[in-house]
Amino acid sequence: MAKLAYFDCNCCVGRVAYPLLHDISGTEGLIREMDTAGVEEALVFHTVARDSDPVTGNRMLLDEIAGNDRLHPVWVVLPHHTGEMPVPGELLKDIAENGVRAVRMYPTGNSQGFSLADWNAGALLGALAEAAVPLMLDIEIAGWESVADILKRYTTLPLIVVDANYRHNRFSYPLFEQYDNFHLELSRHFGAGIIEDIVARFGSERLLFGTNMPQYTGSAAVSLLTYSEVSRADKENIAGDNLRRLLGRALS
């Protein structure tokens, strides 16, 4: 049987203040980790864009992964009101011109200091929804109430919750039931039988493979899906086909 074609939706490059496992900050190190785990492609953002300045970090990302066809850029974005980023229409043009495949946001006062409510981020969220550009939110930063509100307001926006764990199923299950645009990344879903339970209840089409490399080893996430007791078709969906479909609809 052919190997699953793993497409990781949750990777980064760049230095961090307190390295975990190995201090892997560049493309070469990430590619080595991907090869060890058996991951073919990855969506990648830059830590500087998350931890410091999105504009600088996004530019550094494009330079870092230039010429590497296995790594695909994800930009960190924020509302335009302070002039740090262009208005949403211009931002979408930049996204398309630079081959950016998805975006991430880090709201709240403890991160990049803005709100996901319409009075602050509504114009940006609306533009992303109209273009069907996938939005990734770290659940530990954004929170489930904001996620549910965005899903309800922007039904054409593919929203991907990253870094949720298996203990969050009392939050994620109602969202699976109510919103077709809700997607869940699985790097921290290590509970016994959790993939099987989600697939049995809701199908596999909204689950996305992720590793959170290089913070975590990719082999754990690969093993979790490889040995899960779901069908081959479901494994192929989760390993990469679901993500490829989402990216294929963006900016079309």
Give residue 127's pLDDT.
Answer: 98
Q: Is residue 1 part of a domain?
A: no
Print the domain residue range for 164: 7-249
Residue 73: inside a domain: yes
pLDDT tens digits for 90-120?
A: 999 999 999 999 999 999 878 899 999 999 9
Q: Is the pLDDT of residue 60 over 60?
A: yes
Please give the model's pTM, rounded to 2 decimal places. Answer: 0.96
pLDDT class for 147, splitting at 50, 70, 90? very high
| Alpha-carbon separation of residue 53 from 23, 46, 106, 151, 187 (angstroms) | 21, 10, 11, 27, 26
| Three-state secondary structure call for residue 237 | helix
Mean of the per-residue pLDDT values of the chain: 94
- The whole-angstrom distance between residue 225's C-alpha and the CA centroid of its chain comes to 18
Q: How confident is the model at residue 250 (pLDDT cuts 50, 70, 90)?
A: confident
Residue 221 in any domain: the answer is: yes
pLDDT band at 74 (very low <50, low <70, confident <90, very high): very high
Contact 131, 251 (CB under 8 A): yes
Q: Tell me the pairing of strands 102-105 and 135-138.
A: parallel
pLDDT bracket for residue 18 (50, 70, 90): low
What CATH number has the domain bearing residue 222?
3.20.20.140
pLDDT band of residue 24 (cuts 50, 70, 90) is confident
Q: How far apart are CA 166 and CA 162, in angstroms?
A: 12
Quick check: is 191 in a domain? Answer: yes
The answer to whether position 138 is within a domain reads yes
Bond preceding residue 134 cis, omega within 30 of 0: no
Amino acid identity for residue 236 in this structure: E
pLDDT, one tens digit per residue, over 168-201 is: 999 999 999 999 999 999 999 888 899 999 999 9
Distance CA 69, CA 86 (A): 27
Cβ burial, residue 229 (10 Å; 0-12/13-18/19+): exposed
% of the chain with per-residue pLDDT over 90: 86
Local structure of 196: helix, strand or coil: helix
Number of domains comprising the chain:
1
